[in-house]
């Protein structure tokens, strides 16, 4: 029989990093909030990485300001919910998942926000076959992930909060302020037990989709996840995630990866900032976000190309098409921006002639 835990395409954080979580729990002698698997210090160590006194290495899950993680963890230890805010690709979902895994041992209590998310996804629904047969009852009620988290004292996650319709968003207010979920059909309620809290994520660029009401915003402590501060930091993030994804997809380790990762990240950062790394040349900014997550996707796709259709070495030609696809979102405006960047910056850069040729060959 297939081992479903090891053969799944993407394991939940609590499964993929079970050994690290167990090692932290075994060495963690600091105070823990009720129903937390780890102390706040250990949760932060799990996210930021470190070495335990027995030599166990905890790999970093988030590379960024330590204070951001400390504030996020501390918020969850209080009665305030946490809102992770940032532009696309700043690891909001990734941080949310790992926080839930470290605190509750379960990152799956998730509501995915969309324009069509119904109120039942936040509150509860009904098994209509049982409802028609037996009438309203606990057995006919289908609890939402938030309702289950309240009853069990665990962390619930709400992804893309600003994509959820405003009236559905507001159903969170009572849950977050009163820590209770009324069930008027049964004349009862579900009260949150200690350990319950909510992590929501929202995209900076989507704030106008369904702006949060001031009443709901007050129920959250907002933590902004910044873009990587430096080229080296972003290269490290991309390298780590590409290695993890490569193992998951069973891609071989390829020579040339470090050089192409650095080039992809350099291109993304320069076009994002509108300025070359040396500060000497201004460039136009395309319409896309050019996030760290997109850089990871470009390099991973390049690795697959090199492994299956190349010579086993990650080369400029393997990543060039992906870079162009990420940059040129608006064929009219972005194509011209990309062409000017290639001819004005890439062409003149020492050691980039192979990337220049690949960019020219893959131009649309």
- pLDDT tens sequence across 270-324: 999 999 999 999 999 998 889 999 999 999 999 999 999 998 899 999 999 999 9
Distance CA 272, CA 342 (A): 15
- Between the two ends of the chain, the Cα-to-Cα distance in Å is 47
Q: How far is CA 151 from the centre of its chain?
A: 26
Are 223 and 82 in contact by the 8 Å Cβ rule? The answer is: yes
What is the pLDDT at residue 206? 58
pTM score: 0.90
> Locate tokens 């993929």: which residue?
16
Q: Is the pLDDT of residue 208 over 60?
A: no
Alpha-carbon 147 to chain mean position:
23
Where does residue 292 rank: exposed (0-12), middle (13-18), buried (19+ CB within 10 A)?
buried
Does residue 56 surpass a pLDDT of 50?
Answer: yes
pLDDT > 50? residue 64? yes
Query: Residue 288: left if φ>0, alpha if ψ -120 to 50, beta else—which one?
Result: beta
Residues 144-199: tens digit of each pLDDT: 999 999 999 999 999 999 999 999 999 999 999 999 999 999 999 999 999 999 99
Pairing of strands 110-112, 220-224: unpaired
Mean pLDDT value across residues 192-215: 85
Question: 95 by DSSP, 3-state: which?
Answer: helix
* Burial group, residue 19, by CB count within 10 angstroms (0-12, 13-18, 19+): exposed
Unique residue bearing structure tokens 């989507």 = 206
Q: What per-residue confidence (pLDDT) applies to 254?
A: 83
The pLDDT value recorded for residue 4 is 44
State residue 2's pLDDT score: 39
Q: Where are the alpha helices (DSSP H) in the chain?
A: 4-7, 13-16, 18-27, 40-48, 66-76, 92-104, 128-134, 145-152, 166-169, 172-178, 214-217, 231-248, 257-273, 292-309, 316-327, 333-341, 353-362
Pairing of strands 197-203, 180-183: unpaired
Q: How many CB atoms lie within 10 A of CB 249?
A: 13
Mean pLDDT computed over every residue of the chain = 92
Using one digit for the tens of pLDDT, what is the confidence trace for 73-127?
A: 999 999 899 999 998 888 999 999 999 999 999 999 999 999 899 999 999 999 9
H runs (alpha helix) in 126-230: 128-134, 145-152, 166-169, 172-178, 214-217
Of the pLDDT bands very low, low, confident and very high (cuts 50, 70, 90), residue 6 is low
And the tokens for 285? Answer: 């900014």
Joined tokens for residue 155: 């962390």
pLDDT at 3 over 50: no
- Which backbone phi and psi does 206 adopt, to 5 degrees? -105, 10
pLDDT at 75: 97
In percent, the amount of the chain with pLDDT more than 70 equals 97
* Dihedral sign (CA 25, 28, 29, 30): negative
């Amino acid at each position: 029989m297939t081992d479903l835990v090891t053969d799944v395409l993407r394991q939940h954080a609590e499964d993929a990093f079970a050994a690290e979580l167990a090692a932290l729990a075994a060495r963690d002698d600091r105070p823990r909030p009720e129903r937390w698997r780890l102390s706040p210090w250990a949760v932060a160590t799990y996210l930021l990485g470190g070495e335990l006194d027995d030599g166990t290495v905890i790999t970093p899950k988030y590379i960024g300001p330590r204070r951001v993680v400390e504030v996020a963890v501390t918020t969850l230890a209080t009665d305030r919910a946490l809102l992770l805010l940032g532009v696309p690709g700043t690891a909001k979902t990734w941080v949310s998942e790992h926080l839930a895994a470290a605190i509750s041992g379960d990152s799956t209590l998730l509501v995915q926000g969309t324009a069509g998310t119904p109120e039942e996804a936040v509150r509860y629904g009904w098994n209509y076959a049982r409802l028609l047969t037996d009438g309203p009852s606990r057995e006919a009620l289908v609890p939402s992930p938030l309702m289950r988290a309240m009853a069990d004292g665990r962390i619930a996650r709400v992804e893309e909060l600003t994509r959820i319709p405003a009236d559905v968003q507001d159903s969170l207010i009572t849950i977050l302020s009163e820590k209770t979920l009324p069930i008027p059909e049964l004349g009862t309620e579900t009260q949150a037990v200690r350990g319950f809290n909510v992590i929501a994520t929202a995209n900076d660029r989507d704030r106008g989709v369904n702006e949060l009401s001031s009443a709901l915003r007050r129920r959250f402590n907002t933590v902004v996840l910044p873009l990587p501060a430096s080229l080296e930091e972003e290269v490290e993030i991309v390298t780590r995630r590409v290695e993890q994804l490569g193992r998951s997809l069973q891609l071989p380790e390829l020579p040339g990866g470090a050089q192409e990762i650095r080039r992809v990240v350099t291109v993304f950062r320069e076009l994002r900032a509108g300025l070359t790394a040396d500060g000497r040349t201004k460039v136009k900014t395309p319409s896309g976000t050019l996030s760290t997550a997109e850089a990871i996707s470009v390099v991973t796709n390049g690795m697959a190309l090199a492994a299956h259709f190349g010579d086993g070495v990650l080369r400029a030609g393997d990543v060039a098409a992906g870079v162009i696809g990420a940059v040129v979102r608006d064929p009219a405006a972005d194509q011209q921006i990309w062409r000017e960047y290639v001819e004005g910056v890439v062409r003149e850069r020492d050691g980039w002639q192979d990337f220049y040729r690949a960019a020219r060959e893959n131009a649309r």
